[in-house]
A and B are shown apart, each in its own frame.
Chain A
Amino acid sequence: MKQWVEQFNGRMDAWGRKLHEKEIRIPIDLVTGLAFAIFALAILLVMPDQVAISEKDVVNGRAFPTLLMMVMLLCCAMLIGKELYKLATKQPLNWKVINIQVEAKALAILGILLGTYFLSKWTGLFVVGAVFCCLGFLLYFRCRKKSYYVITLVIAVAIWAAFRFVLGVEF
């Protein structure tokens, strides 16, 4: 078992080193501007379906979200305009470096979170999800101290018990 764990860790380390070298550079302001411009336009597009109004209203329920999306579009136009100006004048753009290893680790954490959620939901027992969460994170951190496993599991069950029996939350 110990050997298997060592082998697994070794593989993960080698994989991590490979991923660590891989990076993606994105023109962050340009991407943000474009993404939110599309988002604002999409909201404006779905507005008639999603916000019912009465013809009699002087100011209806669409007025405020429309105003917000207009402000958002204006901000996006400014962001895109600023970056295009930089491109035209050959000034450096605002770049963001995305490290693939970091994103892979974030996905692993998201996996633990989703696992906790679905286990709790499917079993209807929050405590099952809580135990999975503890084990998941301790394995993620490659914790070898047995005492940490015991402490974390005890606290997890204690939190569930506090919500269940002290605060009266049914789960």
Chain B
Amino acid sequence: MLQYIAPATGLLFTLENILWINIGVFIGSVFAAIPGLSVILCVILFLPVTYSMTAIPGMMFLLGIYCAGGYGGSVSAILINTPGTPHAAATMLDGHPLSERGRTKAALKIALYASTFGGISSALMLLFLGPQVARVAAQLGTAEYFMVCVFGLTIIAGVSGKSMIKGLISACLGLLISCVGSDPMTSYDRFTFGISRLYLGLDLAVCLIGLFALVEIMSKAEKRLDRLNLDTTQIKDDGIITKEEYKRMARPMLLSSLIGVMVGIIPGTGASEASWFSYNTAKNMSKHPEEFGHGSVEGIAAAEAANNAVTGATLIPLLTLGIPGDGTVAIMLSALMINGLNPGLTLFTTQGNIMYAIMLGLILVNIFMLLQGKFLTRLFAKVVSIPQEILTPIIVIFCFAGAYSVNENFFDVGVALIFGMLAWILRKLELPPVPILLGLVLGSMTETNFRRALLISNGNPKIFFSSVYCIIFLVLILLAVGTIVRGKMKERSTQKEA
């Protein structure tokens, strides 16, 4: 590991990288601060921008958005009692009451420090744990890799919507869409319906703009136009956090960072689960549980440290096995693959310099998030109240410009529009879009490993049950399915009783 650190540092500390990190952090904070805009939407909108970049600045930009999104959501949660992102809901419970007591700046500072602590802990965990997991991943063959993909898809399909069956239908649809274009092994065209432009397949960014961004625009039809009247002069306290409060923050921050890392490693779980779990743990362990819900510094610190501690941890299964922990990192996987960086041990050995630069960069991202949060809080707060009338057309223009810029033609814009309409229909049918995204990202890898494994075994499907790792993953898939189905049944019976 040490042999990569020095060259990686050299690759990381360039003016270009620092600039892209800061742009990413700024955009991520702004997007997450606005209720109704999500981090995944932001990453999708700016993914085409990274197509012209090399791996390190591209990933730094996207990681900047991803990490800052964890903190940005807390700004509106604290200021207007509306979480900017779903995972900031736990922060809102204590953040807003503390703000109402005239300590808005202090609440924002606690959220920022806890987010930074969680983020850096997670980045360090990635740095030390990533290469170890990659060593295990190196022992996997094609059949095992197929099982890994099935495992990732099953979990995401299971936890993404109300019904696991519908999640699986979505995943199958995503995988099928990834088949459009030339066959990865024979180069014969598939499902092109005589349209020559489809020979190279559908671009991921274009599909995602339709599936996640344009459908959000269409969903404005379902919502009322809410006015968020925010008076930014309410941030007028000195923002001082006492020594006593720092002491009280320390334990929940440490514990929540650990919880966040552990939750983040498990595919399908995310920042929301981590922040609620940490919040409850901090409440149970606190000497002042009565303060929770009334502006407890421990509550804010626990929720914020946990949701940012997920960021680096989700990258561990992504970089080592190719399993994205959530939708946002799935998009990052595609950004990596575009630059020829495929998950696995080789990523940590032959391309070690780049990989370690990205992992070290995650620490840097958190440092810049702290700096921007410290000096630009008032600006982020103002952004919260940008009216929908202005925001909506701007997002549409970004979507169209992004889709067009991929290949510089209007065909892609049309494809994005078709995917937007498809997503609207899927939404009506209550089919979750995240498994489609995962199917699109993992499609090529899943199919290639499936076919290679069958080629090796001369068409015998027994190869998928032939090794210890295959059986381990099969047991994990069955366990995951069992747990998810049991959880959903419990949920339904609780709803019926209520």
Contacts and interface: CB of A to CB of B under 8 A. Distances in A.
B454 A58 contact: yes
A35 B426 CA distance: 11
B447 interface: yes
A88 interface: no
Given A65-B179, A143-B389, A58 B455 contact: yes
A93 interface: no
B341 interface: no
B190 interface: yes
B93 interface: no
Contacts of B392: 137, 141
A130 B308 CA distance: 36
Contacts of B287: none
B410 A121 contact: yes
A43 B172 CA distance: 12
Bin the interface of chain B by size.
Answer: 35 or more
Contacts of B430: 28, 32, 96
Given A35-B429, A63-B451, A71-B168, A170 B396 contact: no
B129 interface: no
Contact of B190 (A32, A61, A105): A61
A117 B417 contact: yes
Contacts, number: 180
A68 B396 contact: no
Interface in B166-221: 166, 168-169, 172-173, 175-176, 179, 183, 185-186, 188-193, 214, 217-221
Contact of A156 (B169, B192, B394): B394
Interface string B143-183: 00000000000000000000101101100110110010001
B172 A75 contact: yes
Contacts of A120: 400, 404, 410, 413
A152 B389 contact: yes
Nearest to A50: B191
B172 A59 contact: no
Interface of A: 28-29, 31-32, 35-36, 43, 46, 50-54, 57-61, 63-65, 67-69, 71-72, 75-76, 78-79, 96, 98, 102-106, 108-110, 112-114, 116-117, 120-121, 126, 129-130, 133-134, 136-138, 141, 143, 145, 148, 151-152, 155-156, 159-160, 163, 167, 169-171
